[in-house]
Every structure is written in C-alpha cells, then in structure tokens.
Chain A
Amino acid sequence: MENAVEVRGLRKSYGDYEINGLDLDIPAGYIVGLIGENGAGKTTLIKCITGANHCDSGIIRVFGSSDRTVLGKIGVVFDECCLHKMMSGKQIGNLMADLYPEWDQSRYEFLMEKFGISLDKKVHELSRGMSMKIQVAVELSHGADLVILDEATAGMDPASRDEFLDIVMEYMQDDRHSMLMSSHITSDLERVADYIVFLHRGRIIMSEPKDEILDRYGVVKGGEAQVLAIGRENIVSLRRESYSVSALVRDRHAVKEAFPELTVDTASLDDIMVLIVRGDAA
C-alpha cells in the first residue's frame, strides 16, 4: 500500500517533553484519526510533518518526498484560524486563487455558502467555529492530496460537525485524497476514520484499523479479584474506582468466552483513551 506520509524515527524534544523515535504511516486514500491527551504531542507531530517545526532527527516523507515546498499538495487546518482577522471571505478567496495553482473558486464559494458564511464578512466578525469553517473551505478547494486537520471541529456545533463530516466523506471519495484528523471528539473519528493512532506522552501506543479496535477492545468491570483473574497479559490498562475496577482488554471476545460470568462491554475510543490515560498499565 502506498503511503501519503511516512515518518521514521522522529525525535523532537522541548525541554522536559519529547517525541522519541516515532514511526507513523498514513496510507494513501485513507483517513487516519489521531487521538491523545492534551500535551501528548499531536500538534507537534503535525507541525513536524508540515515542516513548521524542525525535527531533532528522523525522516519524514510526504508522497515519497522529503521536499514539502510543493504548493497545494498539502492542506492544513490548525486548531485556531490562521487567516488574517481583517480579511473577508472574498479577499481570502482572491488571495488563495493567487497562491494555489489549482484553486477552485467555485468549490470555495459553494462550501462557504453551504457553511452559511457570507463572503463579505471579515474573519474577526465570525465566531470561532465559523472561522474554522472558512479554513476548512479553503483547504478543500485547492486540490490538496493530503489534508491535515488539527482539532478542526473544535468550536463547531453538532449540526455543523455533522455537515463537516459529510463533506469530509465526500472529499475522500476520490482515492487520491488522504487525511490525518486529530480530534478530541472521538465520536467523529469513530464515524469517518479508517485507522486510529493513539499518541500518549510522545509515543504511539496504538496504531490499528478503527473497526478492529472497536470490535476487539472491551471494558471489563467488576471486583478487583474478579477482574484480575482474567490475567494481566490480557489487560491493557486498569482503573481502580471507589467500588469497582475497570479493565481495558485487548480481545473482549476471548475474555467473554473464557470468563462468561464477567460483564464485558464494547469499548469506545473515549473509553480506551480514558482507561489508558487515567488507568495503570497492567
């Protein structure tokens, strides 16, 4: 499978925080969801991929090349609007038409209309969610083969997020398009992502197909003795609460078969994140 992005041995440190020896592939034509707690390194990783940050060491290739100065191949939406507040939607469109060789003005205007944003309004007159939508409209209108979204839906209301995800799925119908989507709203990733990468304290602790994660991982709840009876080799993380223990297991079907008396629930991405971040490794 061809990769849109290949990261090998990425190292980046900021004083007491570091990404150490990270390997990551974003397969071409797929959506990779990136999850992790605050400060895990998601934005740092994205900035290293886009070239906004220098890596201490490691190799990053986008579409097979280390050269990231090819205009228009990559689209990025950061967690805050990076467009000048005094520019209107129309001025932004004109600017981007000058900047991008494959700018599609009609597509931009269509998306702006779909998002309900007037082209005459300046960015500072819009809410946070609306200004993020302008950025999304820009990044989906210049023929990018790789779009990176860093908390792009933060600040959007549920209806807008739903509409945004529809647009993402429509964009991904072209097999040439790839996406890396970092989000705390894991339900969005459960809906659209093909792969999930979990970044925890600068390291990737999970990188698997989303459907497999949601099918295999489970949460076992009960008394401590009951839960520990399934064996530490089957437990990814353990969280002790006031009156019970919750354990994240890698293969809920096997645990259910071996211990039919236990309650084994499916694990959402939220459950997995909370149990790993706030629990203890087995």
Chain B
Amino acid sequence: MMTLVRKDLILIKSSIVSLSIFAAVLCFLLKVPLITYILPAVLLVSLASASIRWDEQCNWDRYIMSIGVDRNTIVRSKFVTGAILALIGTAIGLVISISMSYVYDFGDVASMVTACPLGFIIGIIVSSVSVAVYYVTGNSVKTQYISVVANIVVISALITLSMIAAEAFGDLTLVVLALAAVAVVIVYTCYLVSCRRFAGIDL
C-alpha cells in the first residue's frame, strides 16, 4: 500500500509545491488566522481525488488489480495519501502562521500550535469526502460539483459543531479533540462507502 502512496506523492510533488506557494500568498493577503490554519491543508488534499482521476485516465487501477493488489488496498492508499497531504498542509499552515506573526498580530506560537490541528482535521475530512464522492459517482462532470456541495455541507456542520463545542467546553483543546472524534467517524464511514462501491466496479 505504501508503494501506491509513494507513487501518488511522486506524481503530485510539483503540484504540492505550487499549491503551497499559492496558499501562502492567499494567506498573506487575507490575514485571517483561522484561514491560515485550514487553507493550505484543504488546497493540498484536493490532489488526493485528482490522483484517482489520473489513475483512471491511464487504467492504472485495472493494471494494479490484475497483478494482485486487492481493491481495498487501492482505496486505502487514497485515504492515506489524503491524510499525508493534510499533514503536509497543516505543517505549511503552521509555518505560514509563524511567519505572518512577525508581520501581523497573529497571537503566540503556543496558541498557533494548539489551533493548527484544525487544518489537519478539516483537511482529512475534505479529502475523505472527496475521495468517497469520487468512488460513488465516478469520473464525470457532476463529480466535482457533488464533491464541492458535499464538502460545504460537511464543513458547515463542523463549524456549527465547533461553535457549540466552544460554547460548551470553552477550552480550544477540548474543541479540537471533539472535532477529531467526529473526523474519525466521518473518515471511517467514507472509507467503508468507498471500499463497498469500488468492490463492485468492473475496471
């Protein structure tokens, strides 16, 4: 499975660099701390579902299945790729935040470190939902629209949930933990749906 993940990361490495630069420019222009934590991760995880499209264009899945890689491993590799991209995006978001704190009033580093997992949580959720939508709807024009709508719904629900959690707990760490628990449920559900769907497809 990690071979498949490495393959994806090799193919998208130049896109990771260009999207990271794009994210940094946007963050510096927008100057909103929350966006700085989340935007790089959300931008990078879009490459996970893009990698599924590229695989489909060259019938890579048909080949890799034919030589003995099972379908669940193929699906799992996409979720792991998304998680790694979310992690990279989170790290980039943290670096951007710290850099911006020298220019703008962005708060102390400790609070940035506490808040930046939000980027990873949102990123991995967006990645999982996008990958699941892709496996359910296939590579069609409507896929990207459905993915955007699904992610808007999920993110809106998460924002609502985090506001409720912030009211209830008060402590940012507890809010992040609550969102992490929700993320685990969402990611696992998306994984199961993707595996089930992919299992029935003729390649």
- Does B69 sit at the interface, judged by CB under 8 A? yes
**Given A69-B70, A74-B67, A75-B67: A84 in contact with B60 (beta carbons within 8 A):** yes
Chain A residues positioned under 8 Å from B59 (CB to CB): 78, 80, 82
Total residues of chain B contacting the partner, CB 8 A:
22
How many Å from the CB of B80 to the closest CB on chain A? Answer: 15
- A52 and B65 within 8 A (CB): yes
Give how many A-B residue pairs fall within 8 Å (CB-CB). Answer: 72
B45-77 interface with A by 8 A CB criterion: 54-55, 58-60, 62-63, 65-70
Which residue of A69, A80, A84 is within 8 Å of B11 (Cβ)? A84
- A50 and B66 within 8 A (CB): yes
- Does A59 sit at the interface, judged by CB under 8 A? no
B61-101 vs A: 1/0 string, CB under 8 Å?
01101111110000000000000000000000000000000
- A76 and B11 within 8 A (CB): no
- Does B6 sit at the interface, judged by CB under 8 A? yes
**Given A87-B11, A95-B7: A82 in contact with B58 (beta carbons within 8 A):** yes
- Does A61 sit at the interface, judged by CB under 8 A? no
Chain B residues positioned under 8 Å from A70 (CB to CB): 68
Total residues of chain A contacting the partner, CB 8 A:
29
In angstroms, Cα B66 to Cα A76, docked, is 7
In angstroms, Cα B199 to Cα A53, docked, is 10
**Given A78-B59, A87-B11: A52 in contact with B66 (beta carbons within 8 A):** yes
Chain B residues positioned under 8 Å from A69 (CB to CB): 68-70
Q: List 18 A-B contacts (CB under 8 A).
A: A52-B66, A69-B69, A71-B67, A73-B68, A74-B67, A74-B68, A76-B63, A76-B66, A76-B67, A78-B63, A82-B58, A83-B58, A83-B60, A84-B58, A87-B10, A91-B10, A95-B3, A98-B3
- Does B32 sit at the interface, judged by CB under 8 A? no
- Does A274 sit at the interface, judged by CB under 8 A? no
In angstroms, Cα B60 to Cα A87, docked, is 12
In angstroms, Cα B67 to Cα A76, docked, is 7
- A81 and B65 within 8 A (CB): no
A52-75 interface with B by 8 A CB criterion: 52-54, 68-75
- Does A86 sit at the interface, judged by CB under 8 A? yes
How many Å from the CB of B175 to the closest CB on chain A? Answer: 40
In angstroms, Cα B58 to Cα A81, docked, is 7
Q: Which 3 A-B pairs have the closest CB atoms?
A: A82-B63, A50-B66, A71-B68
- A-side interface mostly: loop
- Does B202 sit at the interface, judged by CB under 8 A? yes
The interface of chain B, by Cβ under 8 A from chain A, is 2-3, 6-7, 10-11, 54-55, 58-60, 62-63, 65-70, 200, 202-203
Chain B residues positioned under 8 Å from A91 (CB to CB): 10
- B65 and A51 within 8 A (CB): yes
Q: Which residue of A lies closest to B200 (CB)?
A: A54
A11-57 interface with B by 8 A CB criterion: 47, 50-54
How many Å from the CB of B61 to the closest CB on chain A? Answer: 8
In angstroms, Cα B68 to Cα A91, docked, is 20
In angstroms, Cα B58 to Cα A52, docked, is 14
Beyond known contacts A50-B67, A95-B6: 20 more, CB 8 A cutoff: A47-B203, A50-B66, A52-B65, A53-B203, A69-B69, A70-B68, A71-B69, A72-B67, A75-B67, A76-B67, A78-B59, A78-B63, A78-B66, A80-B59, A82-B58, A84-B55, A85-B58, A91-B10, A95-B3, A148-B66
Chain B residues positioned under 8 Å from A85 (CB to CB): 58
In angstroms, Cα B202 to Cα A91, docked, is 28
Q: Which residue of B lies closest to A69 (CB)?
A: B70
- Does A126 sit at the interface, judged by CB under 8 A? no
- Does A99 sit at the interface, judged by CB under 8 A? yes
- B202 and A47 within 8 A (CB): yes
